[in-house]
Amino acid sequence: MPANKNNKTLWNKLVGTHAEFSMENRTFNSVGVLTLIMLFFFLLANVLVGLFKVVMVIGVLMLLQGYVLYLSRFRKKMQAGVIIYAVSSYLAIIVNFYLNSGINGPGLYFFFLTFPFLITITPRSRHLLWAVLHVFIAITLVLSQFLFPEWVPYTYKHLSERFVDIVLSYVITVLFIYYITIYLRNHYEYEKKLADRRAQSIEQQKLLLETALEERKAQEEKIKAKNEALMKIAHIQSHEMRGPVTSIMGIMNIIKEEGSNVPREYFIYLEEAVNELDRKIHEIVRQTKDL
């Protein structure tokens, strides 16, 4: 595990992290690193078969690819890097075609390296441009060898050299296309996981919101019920209790007018108590209305 973590950290330093770069930019940086490695093996292969002119061309390409990677990864100028990469790739394919036996060599394989890569890292609006350029350049190279075969010398001294060159180029091309496909698939799965996490987070937030709304609704219902209960109490206090008090006050007035053997001071006490009860009822009603 620590080794895998260290390898991942080193790779992220070379190509950038998901937080720093887009999928297209990381793909471009990744392929830039792999291209340097691929060119190194091509350089060794051509050294083995003695194609030193091709070796010189590959050396220049390695320097150019290093600069393209620097622009994209560290200067964050991917678009400039893409243009340089596309132009240098076409020039390299053309030069390699004429220096490395034309259709008898692996030159045409390299179109299968650059085309899927360019359509992966560039907007869809440019895909037609890359398709037209690839088809046009490839057909032009084949026609030029057909019409002017002397332009494309056969550079292999032995059949084994041609066999090694073509097999190695084919294997590298297949591995390159495989890497791009796997990289895109892994990125798709990574984005899918992020989307699933976002969806789960949204669903959880939705559930929390629904729960909060239900709790608020229940609280509002409780408050409403409480208010209704208070209003009912107020109604009882202001009407049902008010009636008996009014009756008592009326009787007291009658007793006052007609007279009685009951000492008058008792009536005074009764009157004060009833008046106090009346004031309390009015106070309760007033406070209930303020709820």
DSSP string, 69-134: HHHHHTS--HHHHHHHHHHHHHHHHHHHHHHTTGGGTTGGGGHHHHHHHHHHHS-GGGHHHHHHHH
pLDDT in tens, 221-247: 888 877 776 776 666 666 656 666 776
pLDDT in tens, 114-131: 888 788 778 888 889 999
Give residue 166's pLDDT: 87
> How many CA atoms does the CB half-sphere of 91 hold within 13 Å?
11
238 vs 277, higher pLDDT: 277
Q: What six digits make up the tokens of 226? A: 């409480």
Do the Cβ atoms of 177 and 110 come closer than 8 Å? no
**Residue 215 pLDDT > 90:** no
The arithmetic mean of pLDDT across residues 276-283, rounded, is 72
Distance CA 72, CA 17 (A): 13
State the pTM of this model: 0.55
Classify 21 as helix, strand or coil.
coil
**Residue 16 pLDDT > 80:** no
Instruction: For residue 270, count other CB atoms closer than 10 A to its CB.
Output: 16
**Whose structure tokens read 């078969």?**
49
**Whose structure tokens read 């798709």?**
188
